[in-house]
Structure 1
Amino acid sequence: MAETVRSEIEIAAPQATVFAFLTDPDKIMRWLASKATVEPHPGGIYLVDVGGKSLARGEFTEVIPVHRLAYSFGWEGRENVPPGSTLIEIDLVEKEGGGTLLRLTHSGLPDEAERASHEKGWSHYMRRLAIAAAGGDPGPDTMA
């Protein structure tokens, strides 16, 4: 049975800023990747090199600027979670008084071990995203 990761984080930045940190390669490299190629439109590529060790690949399936992203996801060279084998959905909700609530759902993971691993990774990288999008420096990536 497929496993799912669900996570939320409040970010002290407007939706448009958070959306840019999820779709602009230069901004993605500030919190997640050493290299990034993204084409944020349905059918566009999602290719992110996490720490120079793991290459994530997928394709955007839904893009609603400043509100929602969905893309297939998986890892090059990993049989358990191959490219495009899972689905990431990100919703950005404007918070009263400013800021953004990011809701992430990562579905289609093959087993509990992969769910736990991806949950740990998302928790780490969502905290880094929150710092970067709010204008801070998340520092060196300790997971990379």
Structure 2
Amino acid sequence: MPDDLIVRRETHVPAPPAAVFALLTDPEQILRWMGTEAQLDPQPGGLYLVNVTGARFARGAFREVVPVHRLSYSFGWDGSEAVPPGSSLVEIDLIEQPDGTLLKMTHTGLPNAEQCAGHAEGWGHYLGRLAVAAAGRDPGPDPFYGRTG
């Protein structure tokens, strides 16, 4: 897999790993920073379904769930030919630090540079909102609300 088709993000989150893990796996908590509705069953084979923008559903299945340390799930978009449901892989590691958690995210299996750029923008946006929510603040209305692409 070409290295330029991998999206990598590292974000410092001012909360312990358990709190960050809950923000990633609890259907009510994920909505504090991303999406308008969510169905999450964080166990291997369990459903990952989030209406990210109010107009676009991300769908996949959890592959690996190590509470408070690691998640991986297949990922794609309902109705997308470029990145259909389950066609890519998101891996997230949570590393405890004295002042919070280092979140390391890798997104692989995207088909081209255009999709990588779009997903890199999306991950940067949403991981920033996650860090705000983890700090106990309201990230405010999502400027990506209503996006279909």
TM-score by length of 1: 0.97
Specify which of 1, 25, 37 is matched with residue 23 of structure 1: 25
The Cα RMSD (Å) is 0.9
SS, match of residue 140 in structure 2:
coil
Gap runs ≥5 in structure 1: none
**Which residue of structure 1 lines up, in the alignment, with residue 114 of structure 2?**
113
Matched residue count: 143
**Which residue of structure 1 lines up, in the alignment, with residue 49 of structure 2?**
47
Specify which of 32, 35, 38 is matched with residue 36 of structure 1: 38
Q: CA deviation at 1:93?
A: 0.1
Gap runs ≥5 in structure 2: none
Q: CA deviation at 1:101?
A: 0.2
**Could you list the runs of 4 or more consecutive aligned residues of structure 1 that deviate by over 6 angstroms after TM superposition?**
none
SS, match of residue 24 in structure 2:
helix
Q: Structure 1 vs Structure 2: percent identity of aligned residues?
A: 58
Q: Which residues in structure 2 correspond to 1:77-88 (within 5 Å)?
A: 77-88=79-90
**Which residue of structure 1 lines up, in the alignment, with residue 131 of structure 2?**
130
**Which residue of structure 2 lines up, in the alignment, with residue 98 of structure 1?**
99
Q: CA deviation at 1:98?
A: 2.8
What CA deviation, in whole Å up to 9, does each residue of 1:34-55 have, x standing for no partner?
0000000000000000121110
Structure 1 distance, partners of 2:95, 2:135, is: 16
- Structure with bigger strand share is 1
Structure 2 distance, partners of 1:125, 1:58, is: 18
TM-score by length of 2: 0.94
Specify which of 67, 70, 92 is matched with residue 69 of structure 2: 67
